[in-house]
Structure 1
Amino acid sequence: MKHILKIITICLAFTSCLVKADLQQAIDAANEGDFETALFHFNYLVENNYGPAMYHLGQMHEFGYGLPRNPKKAAELYAKGVKLGEADAMFALATLYQDGKGVKKDLQKAVSLYESSAKKGLAAAQFNLGVMYANGTGVIQDFYAAKDWYTKAAAQNYAAAQFNLALLYFEGQGVDKSIEMSFIWNTVAEFNGHKDASHSRKLDERKMSPSQVKEASEKANELYQKILAGKYYGDDRRI
């Protein structure tokens, strides 16, 4: 009996590897502009109820890669992926609900989907959810919640979230106003090539003494290294 179970386990693992290889082959084909091959593999995987393929095939329908743009079809595919717990599908469907493309515009539904995706660790969803809270879009405006979600995305080295954190510190929204922390987060975002952060960091610097700039720069470097090492978790863990 144990021998049979072992064989079944090996077969399942082998099948999983084949499915992932097929998905990667489809993704590679799409990236190379071979949409016919990509569609063939994505459709095969979707027919076999493979969640990640539903997201990628949805992307092809949404943006018209190798076929006419069809956000409604994309939404249907994303929704199937959502049922299977696919974070990327949750995020993609949220953007459609936010913009009213392929589905009726529903900001609260968008927030709910962003949150589901964000809790699975998708940095883009964490950032978008932070923006929704900061702007009061689909939710009651809450800068504290915005700060929490930006921080989670920033910890994954998401530059836009790092820049938005700097803005919160500069304005004192959801956090104590701090030019030093604004400088630090702008510097970290600048390390990642965020041009607006570079401009903002220079504005922060004008309000600081040379010694303050030196100290804040050292803190920014230290913070950035923590983020790269995956050892930054934010100031608190309320979420």
Structure 2
Amino acid sequence: MWHAKIKSVMFVALFSWTHTSIAGLEEGIEAANSGQFDIALKEFRYLTDMNYAPGIYELAKMYQGGFGVNKDLRKAASLFNDAIELGSADAMFALAVMYDDGKGVKQDKHKAITLFTQAANKNLSAAQFNLGVMYANGDGVVQSYYTAMDWYERAASNNYTLAQFNLALLYYQGLGTDKNIERSYIWNLIAEYNGSRDASKSRDLDEQQMSPSQIEKATEIADDIYQRIQQGTYAPEIRPKQKSYTF
């Protein structure tokens, strides 16, 4: 039903630091992306010696992928942990994936959830999305569409396309919320604006259950939300707390 959890991406993270550190990081990433791994390793190791979290993170990715060095997942995990101690959200995400998959470390869903949550609370949209998937599927946590929706909404507000599409699915099926075809249409349309073909097909299904006036109104709302997302001013709606029952 849902788009699967995503993995970390190689050589993309940039953080603010000293000008020299940023320049070295950019040079290292550029070298890595062009296959000049010796240069990349030199830059990342220098930044690691400086205790610069983004450099440590990138060096960990080199060991994780075996780029210019022998692949060493344990070394990668250790370096990710060093970067985490310096507050790197990207490292939190990467190590969470390793614990989730049991690669380089002993599989531990609880640690994976903890690290994903830490990264998500630092507003890393990929971590927010993964938490949405895990709560939707009951993967390592008590299954809760309500909580999944909360995480999807946070990622969607950061313009994360997969979260926007999964959020539309929840509205369409009435999972974690009341069934709402208009809201499904809105989030499918927003995801479609970001190039999602799945969302485009799903939006067509929504339209079959909507009147022309409903489509017009929903489109106006979607356009407004999308514009605010682009401007960084959109905040998820506050939903009523999930009901709890005692017997």
**Higher helix proportion, which one?**
1
Count of aligned positions = 224
Identity of aligned residues (%): 53
Counterpart of 1:187 (choices 179, 183, 189) is 189
**Higher mean displacement: 168-177 or 88-97:** 168-177
- The equivalent of 2:14 in structure 1 is none
- The equivalent of 2:69 in structure 1 is 67
Within 2, Cα distance between the matches of 1:210 and 1:229? 29
Q: Note the residue ranges of structure 2 that are not aligned, 5 or more in a row.
A: 1-16, 241-247
Change (3 A) 1:52 1:237: farther
Determine helix, strand or coil for the equivalent of 1:234.
coil
Within 1, Cα distance between the matches of 2:66 and 2:164? 32
Q: C-alpha displacement at 1:230, in angstroms?
A: 0.8
Counterpart of 2:88 (choices 86, 89, 98) is 86
Select the structure of larger CA radius of gyration. Answer: 1
Q: C-alpha displacement at 1:235, in angstroms?
A: 0.4
Counterpart AA for 2:130: N
Change (3 A) 1:86 1:23: same
Counterpart of 1:121 (choices 117, 123, 136) is 123
Q: C-alpha displacement at 1:70, in angstroms?
A: 2.4
Determine helix, strand or coil for the equivalent of 1:102.
coil
Q: Note the residue ranges of structure 1 that are not aligned, 5 or more in a row.
A: 1-14
Determine helix, strand or coil for the equivalent of 2:48.
helix
Instruction: For CA contacts below 8 A with separation 6 or more, give which structure has more relative contact order.
Output: 2
Are 2:39 and 1:37 equivalent residues in the alignment?
yes
Counterpart AA for 1:82: I
1:1-239 paired onto structure 2 within 5 Å: 16-236=18-238
Q: Scaled by the length of structure 2, what TM-score is found?
A: 0.87
Counterpart AA for 2:46: Y
Post-superposition CA distance 1:5-55 (Å, at most 9, x none) = xxxxxxxxxx82211211111111112221110011101111221111111
**Higher mean displacement: 177-186 or 27-36:** 27-36
Q: Scaled by the length of structure 1, what TM-score is found?
A: 0.90
Q: C-alpha displacement at 1:69, in angstroms?
A: 2.8
Counterpart AA for 2:142: I
Q: C-alpha displacement at 1:237, in angstroms?
A: 8.1
Determine helix, strand or coil for the equivalent of 1:65.
coil
Within 2, Cα distance between the matches of 1:47 and 1:129? 33
Within 2, Cα distance between the matches of 1:186 and 1:130? 17
Change (3 A) 1:224 1:55: same
Post-superposition CA distance 1:165-192 (Å, at most 9, x none) = 1011011111111011001000000110
Runs of 4+, deviation exceeding 6 Å: none
Determine helix, strand or coil for the equivalent of 2:18.
helix
Counterpart AA for 2:59: L
Counterpart AA for 2:166: N
Counterpart AA for 2:43: H
Within 2, Cα distance between the matches of 1:59 and 1:198? 35
Determine helix, strand or coil for the equivalent of 2:171.
helix
Within 1, Cα distance between the matches of 2:68 and 2:202? 41
